[in-house]
Every structure is written in C-alpha cells, then in structure tokens.
Structure 1
C-alpha cells in the first residue's frame, strides 16, 4: 500500500488505510443485493414495499420528507426492523417484508441494507443516490411544519 494512503491512528500510533477501507466495505455491501433507482423504489412502495428514511432530523427538516416513509434514524434501524426483537415496530412482523432504506446520498443506506440482510431480511435494499436523487427525479416530498418523529418500539 502506498505510504500516502496511510495515516497514524490517534489512539495506537499504528498506520491504517483510509478511504480504501470504507470504499471496500461499501463495495462488498452493495455486491450482495440489487439497489433501486428512485423511480423503482417509488413503484415498489406502490406494490407494498416499505420505505424507511434513516436521515437524522436536521436533514429531514432542511430538505423535506417522503410522504408515507417510515422514519427510523440509523442508530435504531436493526432493532426496529428485526421481526424477532422486542423493540420492533408493528410493520416488522415478517422477514419477507421488502424494506427500502433511503438516506441523504445513498451511502449509509447501502451499509444499513446490508446489515438488515445479515439479520435475515433478505428483501432489504436501498435507493441509489438517496433523497438527493429522489428529489432530482421529481418524486413526491413534503415539508411538514415539524419533522416526523422517528418510530419507537411498538409504534
């Protein structure tokens, strides 16, 4: 590995790879499933798929929301969607549900979809380009006076 791609860890002083590590992780995550373009995701929702928006409140407040999307911030996603977890939401009753994860630009949603697939939710996928691509495609968005609160257990 070229020396310029290494940095010293602030905690151990050991060198570590920077961009190549996350890029590789992202590529491996995306290789395991078919991602959807925004229009494909919207069409899948019309057929019963569940769109889950993992963006934090400040992003939803600034850019808007997708009508009907289930709001679950990323740090709670696996607990809310795992059908075997006591902290799940009611829609997470089957491992066969098609969950479509959307974030701001389509990066963290890829890692989230891969994590859901590891939990046994084999129909999980994400939106290429995220919310930015969704709005560029002219798909429905809303700007509520107050952002939709994230879903909690049993809600």
Structure 2
C-alpha cells in the first residue's frame, strides 16, 4: 500500500461518507465543490452547491474565522465534492480538524452524482466564494 493510500484510509476512517442518493435526500447540507474550473465548466455542478477552491477551503469554512462563508455553523453537515471522491476525503478530514465535526464527502464525487442521474447545473460557473 502506498503512503497516499494509507493517508486516505486514515482520513476515511473518520468520515461517514455519503452515496449520491443519500446526499440528494439531505435537506440542510452545505455541498462544497472543490473541483477546478475547467472540470466544472465542462461537466456542470451539483444544484445548490457552493464552489470553494481547495486552496482557500479551510479559510472559507472555518466556523469561527473572519473569512468564513455566511449561513453555516460548526454543526452543519458539510459535504465536499471533487471529481471522483478521492481529494474530497482528504479535504473533509481537514475540515473536521478545524471544527466541522459533520464534514464528510461524496462517494464517487461529482461523476458518481452525475452517473446516478441526479440534478445538475449544466456548464458550471466560474463563480468562487
């Protein structure tokens, strides 16, 4: 097993990862898309998701930080989405470390969501918060 696999397994051991249909049924989750702009423009985005570049994720989601997004608390379920569900596991682990106990990620990522036929915004956006 590679070092990355070991780190990924450790991160996932602390997450209650969600399948696409489970996430679709959640009503109060904050869905955070960390995918690069070129992926979002080419493939679309999950409806009602918020785009936050990975490079600023912790600053924008620190529940007590000066740069945090409005409208969520430390108790909010935050679901991180990447392309296929790998980088999002590491990002969700990092969000737990800054105080978001309910941070997790989407099994299969955006592509798993889309393959399940769930609602998307075509074309994506370049808007980043």
Q: TM-score range by the shorter chain?
A: over 0.9
| CA displacement 1:86-119 (0-9 Å, x = unmatched) | 1111124x11011001100000000000000111
Give the equivalent residue in structure 2 for 1:81: 61
Give, in angstroms, the shift of residue 43 of structure 1: 0.9
TM-score, normalization: structure 1?
Answer: 0.80
Give, in angstroms, the shift of residue 142 of structure 1: 1.6
* Structure 1 unpaired stretches of 5+: 1-18
Give the equivalent residue in structure 1 for 2:23: 41
TM-score, normalization: structure 2?
Answer: 0.95
Structure 1 residue ranges (4+ consecutive) displaced by more than 4 angstroms after TM superposition: none
Q: How many residues align?
A: 129
* Structure 2 unpaired stretches of 5+: none
Name the Cα RMSD after superposition: 1.2
Give the equivalent residue in structure 1 for 2:3: 21
Distance 2:48 2:14 in 1: 27
